[in-house]
Structure 1
Amino acid sequence: MSFPIHSSFSRLALLGLLSLAALSTHAQTTPAASPTPEQIRRWQHLDLQADGVPGISADKAYRELLGSRVPTPVVVAVIDSGIDSTHQDLKPVLWRNFREVAGNGLDDDKNGYTDDVRGWSFLGGPDGRNITVETLEQTRIYGQYRGQFEGKTRQVVRKADRAKFDLYEQAKASYEKARKAEETRLARLTDALTSNTATFERLKQALGTTRLDSGLVHQAATRQPAVAEAGPVYAFMHRAGMASDEDALKALNAAIKGSRNSLEMGLNPDYNPRAIVGDNPKDLRESRYGNPDIQGPDARHGTHCAGIIGGLRGNGLGGDGVAGDMVRIMGVRSTPSGDERDKDVANAIRYAVDNGAQIISMSFGKDFSPDKAVVDDAMKYAAQKNVLLVHAAGNSGLNTDKDNNYPSARYLNGKFIPNQITVGASSRLNTSALAAGFSNYGKQTVDVFAPGVDIYSSTPGNTYATLSGTSMAAPVVAGVAAVLKSYFPQLSALQLKQIIEQSATPYHTQVLKPGAKDMVDFATLSKSGGIVNLYEAVKLADKMTMVK
């Protein structure tokens, strides 16, 4: 899962590198018809005409088109970091393998996975331990071939090994670049922690308090102009979504810990977390490994994605899932912090398909895929079984028509994967910021965009958080697909993809091209040129399934 996850703490980490005094000049533009705070929290469900927000018109669809219809449950697999199976917004919608008896240590249904009541983890060992951090794929490739190729030139390498040598050279360059960048990031985060800690202490002394909460700081900024640092600190806390200085420093410390983990594990070619699992990573045919712990040690990302799809609607909690209680969420764990292995991804897809998933949400990606063939085979298997794959486009601001991001939109033979839909991220602002600045894009390889900026959803321990990324946009589309499949169960995976693409609302807003400074037509960033729209998708599904 090498996608940068744009969460509250990562935004804080970035902001912490800036001068606090500069932050007050970076106010976010809002539409003329500003939505209410409650609407902002669940903005992805809103409608452009009714609410002034480029959401997916889910509320309108439920209100005007779906109210009198009866849905049928749809199984959606979330291949991710893990899901908190006890979360109040998710527990009622979790998939249950009724053929399996929980905790008896037997493979009751003879599917090869013991006690897989809620799903399966391909990152766990039989003793209950779980991988938390994996190496990056470029780290693994570099470590695998450095003994064979280090110090050699292509000319002296045997012709039979030159393809491997070329891969090694690419991976080594990427590894060294990533390691240098992470070392720089860690140094800047550490400096930011020192600087912000000192700033907070000075402000606490000036205000005569031991704790800076955002309300107190805001009051000081508006009523005590002599306290010069109050304004910038409030702007900093407000933009980062932090309620207090304690939250801010806690988030910065978490970012520093993550950076150190990346250097010590993700970018360490000598680190081998696979000993925890006990499988043979080189045996791509091996599939009977792992454990039934679908939560794992860090389920924040997966829990958030699951909530976007199936969080209970209308219960006053969270931000409401797109599909709500019409889905059954199957947890399949194969994507740790670091890069998922192709073998695990392939097995996760096959497990989901074999156990009844009709839609699979995949919010992960990486720069290298040395065993892509095994993933391709699993995707072909999903196609044969009429399963739709929904994949996040990636968060590197790249044109994936030219730059690699895996799993890609094409098979190794160059043909497009017919049952996969690839999703870019959009924001709630129909301005130059409509396309998320981090989102990958591609007129051929990204099918649609969907809300992926500041998405409020479930996080472990009955908590909620606002996160950003194409990781959030993909489950929005998975939720749309689930609604369609629920109300129109006869639709095939290919028809679901067709409807979602053809019903997307086209936008011709001039936007900043992700990862660049030039302006482009939003419609040029994806195949459909639009943002998914549940209301229009339901209307189109009605037409397609109407009995003549």
Structure 2
Amino acid sequence: MNHKSFYLFAVILLFSNCVKNTSEHLFFDTVIVTKDRKNKLLESTVRKWQHKDIIKDTIPGISLDKAYKNLLHDKIGKNVIIALLDSRIDINHEDLQSQIWHNTLEIPNNNIDDDNNGYIDDTQGWNFLGNKEGYNMVSAQYAYVRYIAANREKFSIDSVDTFSKEYIDFHRAMSLYEKEQKIAKRKLITAENSISKYTESKIKLGTYIPDGKFTLERLKNIDTTGNGLKPYVERMAFFVEHKFTESSLQDILKTRKRRINKHLNIEYNERIILGDDPSNLRDIEYGNNNVFSDIDQFTHSTRVAGLIAATRDNNLGIDGISNHNKIMPVCISPLGDEHDKDIALGIRYAVDNGAKVINMSFGKTFSLHKEWIFDALRYAAKHDVLIVSSAGNGSLDLEKENHYYPNDNDNNGEEFSDTFMLIGAISNQLNSDLLPYFSNYGKTDVDLFAPGHKIYTTFPKNNYKLDSGTSLAAGIVSGVAGLIRSYYPDLSAIEVKNILMESGTRYNIKAEITVDDSKKIVPFSSLSKSGRVVNAYNALLMAEAISKSKK
């Protein structure tokens, strides 16, 4: 017995009608951790931990490496289109350029809608945040600010029913707005003071370090005896130690000004650039085919895309889930919150143009036209498309904070879509930190968990970095869904969703959550509907069993 057995036991299920009954083809249903384990991963493992296997590696990954080695080495898959409803994306990234969907029915740059889908020259997807002249929207209001702007006149009259749901929502929006305004103003002052202090310290120390290249070593060599330089050296050392530069401090200031002037500005109208009516779903004469602009500001889509489909085995960067996963860019996410209209039209665009999986890595707590999104989710379900969405990064229990969109129910009511999934994130730790501090959770709303903490992924301009968030977890589940639909195209979206939920790995670990400002320890399995973490190996075993049973 090796050392791993001291930490783990596994409950094993066999699929006799699926594959040979060998140790290579065992379905590991539940992992019992007999002792908390704090994983300290090597750098080489950190960069791909999400693909590891819990039994072989004692890392709670999705067993993807094991699936390729034992289940897929002699199989041939089909390409699957995965629509990414997200920000604009670096389609020229070295690890993604061969994985971007191409609309072969559209002739490039002829200014004609060749495929008659309503979108001119959409050869690589569609940008719902632009106009026909090529200008693109960057910033947008937060959804609760938009909600206030749309309803303030209605609720300014004395006769308003203060017990109505609409007024309660308006009051909730106003309370959040006032709170965030105070925080934003305080943070802006902090950013301005930081730049002032950095500039002052740079000037005072300029005689000693004239090239402005400050390092801790060079700062230590400055004699501060009797010359009043000590506070400036200490201040600059703080900036250096925390990797603040003049440029990064200016970026922070710019971000915090934008938060006040645009995201939190009730009078701001971001739709002027687009020229459409955001309250009219039939007004679709907007957008353009530029899905890759402003990638210095928009990194999110590129980060998610890498986990789904970065080219495997090319000796570059990272390996995605599958080379058969082709990314369809559908740009609906600005800096700020998405409009319901863009979300709804984006889902329909993806469905109508052949996507079998739609990844949506965004969320908001207010929705002006949630019925548009609900109808779009029903449309996707009707056309056999699986939608995978991130659960959000607010550390919220969605059982209580049930104002979260997109979702397939309203206020924890009955679900109206069988092909929608909400995904939370896990870390690589086999202890109470398995649930990272940021991930939302909820027994009713969250269907499944996946790796989403300290994940190495693609960034624009051929860069790679560690990142965290439920967006990454959703991307991984979307990638696995694409993997299943690639090798088992006879399975429906409903079947794929059920497979993902039923084949995941259970962990009998206790997780730490915050309830009423105090810490509480609960079973990890109680934090989602399935109680499981996605497992590609198990999912493929179950997919084969179900596929064979249908023949």
In structure 2, give the amino acid aligned to 1:76.
I
Give me the whole-angstrom Cα distance separating, in 1, the residues matched to 2:529 and 2:510. Answer: 17
Q: CA deviation at 1:540?
A: 1.4
SS at match of 1:364: coil
How big is each residue's C-alpha offset from its partner over 1:219-270, in whole Å with a ceiling of 9 and x where there is no partner? Answer: 99xxxxxx999999999988x7x5xx54xx5444323322211110011011
Change (3 A) 1:61 1:212: farther
Give me the whole-angstrom Cα distance separating, in 1, the residues matched to 2:500 and 2:290. Answer: 33
Residue matched to 2:533: 531
Q: CA deviation at 1:198?
A: 7.7
Residue matched to 2:160: 157
Task: Give the TM-score normalised by structure 1.
Answer: 0.84
Residue matched to 1:302: 301
Q: CA deviation at 1:45?
A: 1.2
Residue matched to 1:482: 482
Change (3 A) 1:184 1:99: same
Give me the whole-angstrom Cα distance separating, in 1, the residues matched to 2:206 and 2:529. Answer: 52
Change (3 A) 1:198 1:518: farther
Residue matched to 2:310: 311
Given the alignment, which residue of 121, 130, 136 partners 1:130? Answer: 136
Q: CA deviation at 1:166?
A: 3.5
In structure 2, give the amino acid aligned to 1:166.
I
Give me the whole-angstrom Cα distance separating, in 1, the residues matched to 2:354 and 2:153. Answer: 44
Give me the whole-angstrom Cα distance separating, in 1, the residues matched to 2:69 and 2:54. Answer: 15
Q: CA deviation at 1:193?
A: 5.2
Q: CA deviation at 1:508?
A: 2.1
Residue matched to 1:347: 345
Give me the whole-angstrom Cα distance separating, in 1, the residues matched to 2:456 and 2:192. Answer: 28
Residue matched to 1:119: 125
Q: For structure 1, which segment, 474-483 or 399-408, has the greater mean C-alpha deviation from structure 2 after superposition?
A: 399-408
Question: Is the contact made by 1:392 and 1:474 (CA closer than 8 Å) also made in structure 2?
Answer: yes
Question: Is the contact made by 2:38 and 2:431 (CA closer than 8 Å) also made in structure 1?
Answer: no
How big is each residue's C-alpha offset from its partner over 1:333-357, in whole Å with a ceiling of 9 and x where there is no partner? Answer: 0111111011110000000000000
How big is each residue's C-alpha offset from its partner over 1:117-169, in whole Å with a ceiling of 9 and x where there is no partner? Answer: 0000111111111110111111112112223433x45xx2279x955433322
Question: Is the contact made by 2:359 and 2:388 (CA closer than 8 Å) also made in structure 1?
Answer: yes
In structure 1, give the amino acid aligned to 2:332.
S
In structure 2, give the amino acid aligned to 1:269.
I
1:379 matches 2:385: no
Residue matched to 1:34: 40
SS at match of 1:546: helix
Change (3 A) 1:35 1:122: same
Residue matched to 2:110: 104
Given the alignment, which residue of 52, 61, 69 partners 1:46? Answer: 52
Residue matched to 1:321: 320
Residue matched to 2:80: 74
How big is each residue's C-alpha offset from its partner over 1:451-497, in whole Å with a ceiling of 9 and x where there is no partner? Answer: 11112211221222222111111101101111111111111111111
Q: CA deviation at 1:394?
A: 0.6
Give me the whole-angstrom Cα distance separating, in 1, the residues matched to 2:250 and 2:524. Answer: 37
1:262 matches 2:268: no
Question: Is the contact made by 2:161 and 2:167 (CA closer than 8 Å) also made in structure 1?
Answer: no
Residue matched to 2:335: 337
Change (3 A) 1:147 1:39: same
1:492 matches 2:485: no
Q: CA deviation at 1:402?
A: 1.7
In structure 2, give the amino acid aligned to 1:277.
L
Residue matched to 2:393: 395
Q: For structure 1, which segment, 122-131 or 451-460, has the greater mean C-alpha deviation from structure 2 after superposition?
A: 451-460
Give me the whole-angstrom Cα distance separating, in 2, the residues matched to 1:402 and 1:504. Answer: 25
Question: Is the contact made by 2:39 and 2:428 (CA closer than 8 Å) also made in structure 1?
Answer: no
How big is each residue's C-alpha offset from its partner over 1:482-533, in whole Å with a ceiling of 9 and x where there is no partner? Answer: 1111111111111111111111111122222167522222111111222111
SS at match of 2:432: coil
Question: Is the contact made by 2:423 and 2:449 (CA closer than 8 Å) also made in structure 1?
Answer: yes
Give me the whole-angstrom Cα distance separating, in 2, the residues matched to 1:454 and 1:192. Answer: 28
In structure 1, give the amino acid aligned to 2:268.
Y
Give me the whole-angstrom Cα distance separating, in 1, the residues matched to 2:239 and 2:479. Answer: 34
Change (3 A) 1:438 1:230: farther
Give me the whole-angstrom Cα distance separating, in 1, the residues matched to 2:421 and 2:346. Answer: 18
Change (3 A) 1:513 1:329: same
Q: CA deviation at 1:367?
A: 0.8
Residue matched to 1:178: 180
Change (3 A) 1:362 1:235: farther
Q: CA deviation at 1:210?
A: 4.9
Count of matched residue positions in the alignment of Structure 1 and Structure 2: 501
Task: Give the TM-score normalised by structure 2.
Answer: 0.83
Question: Is the contact made by 1:81 and 1:296 (CA closer than 8 Å) also made in structure 2?
Answer: no
SS at match of 2:152: helix
Query: Aligned-residue CA RMSD in angstroms?
Result: 3.1
SS at match of 1:537: helix
Given the alignment, which residue of 276, 290, 296 partners 1:293? Answer: 290
Q: Which runs of 5+ in 2 are unaligned?
A: 1-35, 222-229
Give me the whole-angstrom Cα distance separating, in 1, the residues matched to 2:494 and 2:207. Answer: 63
Give me the whole-angstrom Cα distance separating, in 1, the residues matched to 2:511 and 2:77. Answer: 38
Residue matched to 1:544: 546
In terms of fraction of residues, the more helix-rich structure is: 1
Change (3 A) 1:229 1:69: farther
**1:517-528 alignment, distance < 5 Å:** 517-528=519-530
Change (3 A) 1:208 1:129: closer
Change (3 A) 1:233 1:531: farther
Give me the whole-angstrom Cα distance separating, in 2, the residues matched to 1:135 and 1:455. Answer: 29
Residue matched to 2:24: none
Q: CA deviation at 1:52?
A: 2.6
Give me the whole-angstrom Cα distance separating, in 2, the residues matched to 1:388 and 1:258. Answer: 35
Given the alignment, which residue of 357, 360, 369 partners 2:358? Answer: 360
Question: Is the contact made by 1:103 and 1:115 (CA closer than 8 Å) also made in structure 2?
Answer: yes
Give me the whole-angstrom Cα distance separating, in 1, the residues matched to 2:97 and 2:257. Answer: 34
